[in-house]
Structure 1
Amino acid sequence: MSYATQTNITVGQRGTLEIVLFSAPITLPCCVFLFINGIMLFTLRSKQVFRETSRYILLFNLLCADTMQMALSQLLYLLAACRITLTYPLCGVLAMLADLTTAISPLTLVVMSLERYVVVCYPLRHTTIITMRNTAVAIIAVWAFSSLNIVTQVILLLDFPFEDLESLQMTDFCAKVNILLGQMSGLYDKGYSYFLFVSASVVVISTYIGVMIAARSASTDKASAQKARNTLLLHLVQLGLSRSSTIYNPLVIAISKITDRLAALRILSILYVCIFLFPRCLSTLIYGIRDRTIRSILMYNLCCRLSCHPSKG
Structure 2
Amino acid sequence: MIRTVGSTSASCVYLKKVMSNNSLVLSEVILQHYRDIFIFVQVLVVMFLCINSLLITTFFRKECFYTTTRYILFAVTLLSDSLMLVMSDILLIFTHFGFAIQVWICIIISVVAIVYNIVTPVTLTAMTLERYVAICMPLRHAELCSMRSTMHCILIIHSLSSVPCIVFLSTFFASASFSLYKQYRLCAIQLFMLYRWQDHVISAVQEFYFLIMAIIILFSYVKIMKVAKAASGEDKKSSWKGLRTVILHGFQLLLCLIQLWSPFIESTLLQFDLLLFFHVRLSNYILFGLTPRCLSPLIYGLRDETFSQALKNVFGLYKRNI
Change (3 A) 1:76 1:217: same
Of 258, 270, 278, the match for 1:244: 258
Distance 2:262 2:164 in 1: 21
Q: Which residue of 2 aligns with 1:175?
A: 188
User: Corresponding residue for 2:207?
Assistant: 194
Structure 2 CA distance for aligned equivalents of residues 167 and 205 of structure 1? 43
TM-score between both structures, scaled by the size of structure 2: 0.81
Aligned to 1:275, which of 279, 283, 288?
288
Contact 2:217 2:250 in 1 (8 A): yes
Q: TM-score, normalised by structure 1?
A: 0.83
Q: Please state how far the C-alpha of 1:158 moved relative to its aligned partner.
A: 2.3
Describe the shift of the 1:219–1:279 C-alpha distance in structure 2 as closer, same or farther (beyond 3 A).
closer
Q: 1:272 to 1:303 in 2, by over 3 A?
A: farther
- Cα offset, 1:37, TM superposition: 0.9
What is the number of equivalent residue pairs in this alignment?
A: 298
Aligned counterparts of 1:252 and 1:157: Cα–Cα separation in 2: 18
Equivalent of 1:227, from 234, 241, 250? Answer: 241
Note closer, same or farther for the CA distance 1:166–1:112 as it changes in structure 2 (3 Å cut). Answer: closer
Q: What residue in structure 2 maps to residue 4 of structure 1?
A: none
Moved more, 80-89 or 218-227: 218-227
More helix by share: 2
Task: Give 3-state SS (helix, strand or coil) of 1:85's partner.
Answer: strand
Cα shift at 1:154: 3.1
Question: How many Å separate the matches in 1 of 2:152 and 2:204?
Answer: 26
**In structure 2, which of residues 2, 10, 15 is the aligned counterpart of residue 12 of structure 1?**
15
1:303 is displaced (CA, Å) by 5.4
Give the unaligned 5+ runs of structure 2: 1-8, 17-26
* Structure-2 residue corresponding to 1:298: 311
Residue correspondence of structure 1 range 1-313 to structure 2 within 5 A: 8=10, 11-12=14-15, 21=36, 23-163=38-178, 165=179, 168-171=182-185, 173-218=186-231, 221-249=235-263, 252=266, 261=275, 269-302=282-315, 305-306=318-319
Q: In the aligned structure 1, how far is the partner of 2:214 from the partner of 2:180?
A: 44
Distance 1:169 1:259 in 2: 25
Summarize the Cα distance change of 1:90–1:122 in structure 2 as closer, same or farther, 3 Å threshold: same
Retained in 1: the 8 A contact 2:73–2:123?
Answer: yes
Contact 2:190/2:263, CA 8 A, preserved across alignment = no
1:207-240 CA distance string (max 9 Å, x none)? 0001111223358921121111111111101111
CA–CA distance in structure 2, aligned partners of residues 76 and 179 of structure 1: 14
CA–CA separation in structure 1 for the residues paired with 2:81 and 2:39 = 21
* 1:125-167 deviation digits (Å, cap 9, x = unpaired): 211221111111111111112223333333332222414x577
Amino acid at match of 2:251: V
Higher relative contact order (CA 8 A, sep 6+): 1
Contact 1:156 1:184 in 2 (8 A): no
Change (3 A) 1:218 1:190: closer
Q: For each residue in 1:70-106, what CA deviation from the matched residue of structure 2 results, as whole angstroms up to 9, or x when unmatched?
A: 1111110000001011221111111111110011111
Unmatched tracts of structure 1, length 5 or more: 1-6, 309-313
Distance 1:101 1:166 in 2: 25
Aligned identity (percent) is: 25
Deviation at 1:270, TM superposition (A): 4.2
